[in-house]
Amino acid sequence: MSKWCSLGCWLLASWLLPVEPSSAGTELELVRRSQPLLGTYVVITAYGSDRAATHDAVSAAFAEIRRLDALMSLHRADSELAWVNARAAEAAVAVSPELFHVLAMAQEIAQQTDGAFDITAGPLVELWGFLWKEPRLPTAAELEAVRPAIGWRLVELDPECRTVRLRAPGMRLDLNGIAKGYAVDCALEKLQSLGVTRAMVRAGGDLRVVGVPPGRGHWLVQLEDPRKGGQRIVIPVRASALSTSGNYENYFEVDGHRYSHILDPRTGWPVEGLAACTALAPTCLESDAWATACFVYGVTNSLTKFAQRFPLRFTLMPAHPAAPGQVVASPLFPAPTGQPAESAGQRLD
């Protein structure tokens, strides 16, 4: 069975699952906690019959996220990713199995999107000032100067030796479009390993769920209105992960023109004309990366190539600030429910 056939079977199976009842005579208690991690707030919502044990599992899940941050953060000088960026241009370096797995997945998506998703965009992100939250408009000469260090084909991975080599000087890998999703996956898997069967882990616009809230057939997740006009929608999510990439949180304006943090590595410039892209997938590593990849790859290309593989939803930038953005969704994307997300105990805002 092909990978993409398996993905379609996953989607169908997730919607055919019955409502999960609570164990007979067992009252499930809600535990919800939040911590500032991964450059955002991570919220873990879990249900369990033993409140103390559920709290312990949630604490372990937060610890797992901190562990992954120490491996893949671009903002930590002591992270494994920082170590790779400092040395891999001189010679191939061996890396941990987890980092190699994330790098390999990123390279696979880069190939399928013709370089629209590219983890070598680190110098671009820094040049535009988004890395340290000091945005600026670079000159054409500055953009041209970093171009030789950008390109997914410049990353050489050796699966047998589990090594990474960067083939040009000045290269810096940036995993912000995929590592957060992987951390969500690891946190959820930690919860499951400790006996939690109903939970949601959310890190900003990335989330993954297992099981369902007691007495319900799915989680209700709220998608942000890119115009911040309060026109959010609520969709049902079950046995899957969801991520949204958007230009409405991290951007700056010069002479009335908006420049967002989502850069097209092929041009060096922010993506224009699109406000948000939401993707669903079996894992959050996949949904995180594909939401960013399809945002850059564009509506037409993404729907033509990937619409039958996984659910996608795009919001286009409106012609006027007060006008609603046009929405384009693939046939697999779940329809809004009309129900408030609070009824499931979870909001995305």
Q: Are residues 199 and 295 in the same domain?
A: yes
| Tokens (6 digits) for 122 | 């680190």
225-271 per-position pLDDT tens digit: 887 667 789 999 999 999 999 998 889 999 989 999 999 999 999 99
- Report, as an integer, the average pLDDT of 124-136: 94
Q: Write out the H or E segment, with its range, that includes residue 235.
A: strand 233-237
6-40 per-position pLDDT tens digit: 454 455 445 445 555 555 457 899 999 999 999 99
Query: How far apart are the C-alpha atoms of 125 and 98, rounded to whole Å?
Result: 24
Measure the CA angle with vertex 117, ends 114 and 123; round to 5°.
Answer: 115
Q: What is the percentage of the chain residues whose pLDDT exceeds 90?
A: 79
| 173, part of any domain | no
Query: How far apart are the C-alpha atoms of 187 and 202, rounded to whole Å?
Result: 10
pTM for this prediction = 0.90
Query: How far apart are the C-alpha atoms of 156 and 158, rounded to whole Å?
Result: 7
| Tokens (6 digits) for 326 | 């046009």
Q: Are residues 183 and 272 in the same domain?
A: yes
Q: Are residues 130 and 201 in the same domain?
A: no
Q: What is the percentage of the chain residues whose pLDDT exceeds 70?
A: 87
Q: Are residues 152 and 200 in the same domain?
A: no
Q: How confident is the model at residue 62 (pLDDT cuts 50, 70, 90)?
A: very high
CATH code (residue 154):
1.10.3980.10
- Report, as an integer, the average pLDDT of 197-201: 98
Q: Are residues 231 and 328 in the same domain?
A: yes
Q: Are residues 96 and 243 in the same domain?
A: no
- Report, as an integer, the average pLDDT of 299-321: 89
| 14, part of any domain | no
Q: Which of 166, 187, 214 is the last residue of a domain?
A: 166
On the CB side of 99, how many CA atoms lie within 13 Å of its CA?
A: 27
pLDDT at 14: 54
| 171, part of any domain | no
Q: Are residues 126 and 212 in the same domain?
A: no
| 4, part of any domain | no
Q: How does DSSP classify residue 79?
A: S
pLDDT at 4 over 90: no
Q: Sort strands 274-281 and 233-237 into parallel, antiparallel or unpaired.
A: unpaired
Q: Write out the H or E segment, with its range, that includes residue 19.
A: none
Q: How confident is the model at residue 5 (pLDDT cuts 50, 70, 90)?
A: very low
| 11, part of any domain | no
Number of folded domains that form the chain: 2
| 323, part of any domain | yes
Q: Are residues 236 and 316 in the same domain?
A: yes
User: Mean of the per-residue pLDDT values for the chain?
Assistant: 90
Whose tokens are 């535990």? That residue is 31
| 349, part of any domain | no
pLDDT at 225: 83
- Count CB-CB contacts under 10 A for residue 243: 29
Q: Are residues 192 and 52 in the same domain?
A: yes
Query: How far apart are the C-alpha atoms of 232 and 347, rounded to whole Å?
Result: 10
Q: Which of 120, 145, 166 is the last residue of a domain?
A: 166
DSSP E strands, 56-171 = 93-94, 155-158, 163-166
pLDDT at 285 over 80: yes
Amino acid of residue 315: T
Residue span of the structural domain in which 214 resides: 27-72+179-344
Q: How confident is the model at residue 324 (pLDDT cuts 50, 70, 90)?
A: low
Are the beta carbons of 219 and 235 closer than 8 angstroms?
no
Is residue 165 packed enough to be buried (19+ CB in 10 Å), middle (13-18) or exposed (0-12)? middle
Are the beta carbons of 219 and 212 closer than 8 angstroms?
yes
Q: Are residues 38 and 88 in the same domain?
A: no
Q: Are residues 68 and 92 in the same domain?
A: no
Q: Write out the H or E segment, with its range, that includes residue 188.
A: helix 179-193
Are the beta carbons of 206 and 184 closer than 8 angstroms?
yes
Residue of 246, 243, 293 lying closest to 265 (CA atoms): 293
DSSP-H helix ranges across the chain: 3-16, 51-72, 80-87, 97-112, 122-127, 140-146, 179-193, 284-297, 299-306
Q: Are residues 157 and 271 in the same domain?
A: no
Is residue 104 packed enough to be buried (19+ CB in 10 Å), middle (13-18) or exposed (0-12)? middle
CATH code (residue 302):
3.10.520.10
- Count CB-CB contacts under 10 A for residue 297: 25
157-181 per-position pLDDT tens digit: 999 999 999 999 999 999 999 999 9
pLDDT at 126: 96
